Amino acid sequence: GDSVTQMEGPVTLSEEAFLTINCTYTATGYPSLFWYVQYPGEGLQLLLKATKADDKGSNKGFEATYRKETTSFHLEKGSVQVSDSAVYFCALSVREYGNKLVFGAGTILRVKS
Amino acid sequence: DAGVIQSPRHEVTEMGQEVTLRCKPISGHNSLFWYRQTMMRGLELLIYFNNNVPIDDSGMPEDRFSAKMPNASFSTLKIQPSEPRDSAVYFCASSQDRAWGEAFFGQGTRLTVV
């Protein structure tokens, strides 16, 4: 079945450090890929997405590139802020199987000032 | 738009009691999802509706769980009887078919079964 694997956390960084959160996937069809973010006490919010190979999704300084050859969609940010502290979820959706998302386990990010 | 609205935000109940969680999706969205989040199992999709019809309920844990969507603006998730292992945060999310994979989540209901 379809699945998403993320690097385990928590990831602890100092403010202005570079961030990478690894994500790889397995899919039986051609997936669209997503990163969602969950702030404390809230539901998930879409951060960025990519719908086909080599697409780059970006938002709020975060970027991720859809790499079909390595089945990866790693999240990066050049300079993190304390306000980026949250849980980040990688997810996929395969249109043939309906409009539903398969999520990874989530990665906790803690940014220290 | 007010976003996806869930109620209650918190629920504490005794084992064996019936629990009903409620969700109002965003107007115009035709897909609705119920997820359960726990530390041990992460985010699990319980059931997915499209145009008010259940499409995939393979994630519903057992017969104690049931979900309905009587119209486009309301859905319920019921647990009867509840057990301590049902304690979790339950999220409702909605989306439009033309915005594939872009789901909007409610703030969740934190359920504690004692």
Contact A100/B45, CB-based, under 8 Å?
yes
The neighbour count for residue B9, using CB atoms within 10 Å, is 11
**Range 37-56 of B in CB contact (< 8 A) with A:** 42-43, 45, 48, 50, 55-56
| Beta bridge partners of residue A33, listed in sequence order | A50, A92
pLDDT value at position B85? 95
Pair of tokens at residue B45: 């999709």
Measured CA to CA, the distance from residue B69 to residue B73 in angstroms comes to 8
pLDDT in tens, B34-79: 999 998 888 999 999 999 999 999 999 889 999 999 999 999 999 9
Cα–Cα distance, A8 to A107 (Å, whole number): 6
The predicted structure's pLDDT at residue B1:
65
Share of chain B above pLDDT 70, in %: 99
The predicted structure's pLDDT at residue A3 = 92
Indicate the pLDDT class of residue B101, thresholds 50, 70 and 90: confident
Q: What is the largest CA-CA distance in chain A?
A: 45
Q: How many CB pairs under 8 A join A and B?
A: 60
Confidence band of B3 (pLDDT split at 50, 70, 90):
very high
CB contact under 8 A, A93 and B100: yes
Q: Is B107 on the interface with A (CB under 8 A)?
A: yes
Q: Residue A8's pLDDT is what?
A: 86
pLDDT tens track for A69-78: 999 999 999 9
Mean of pLDDT over chain B: 94
Q: Round to whole Å and give the CA distance between A73 and A33.
A: 7
Q: For residues B7 and A77, what is the distance between their CA atoms, to the nearest angstrom?
A: 35
Residue A70 CA, chain-centre distance (Å), reads 15
- Under-70 pLDDT residues of chain A: 97
Nearest alpha-carbon partner for B73 in B23, B16, B109: B23
Helix/strand/coil for B52: coil
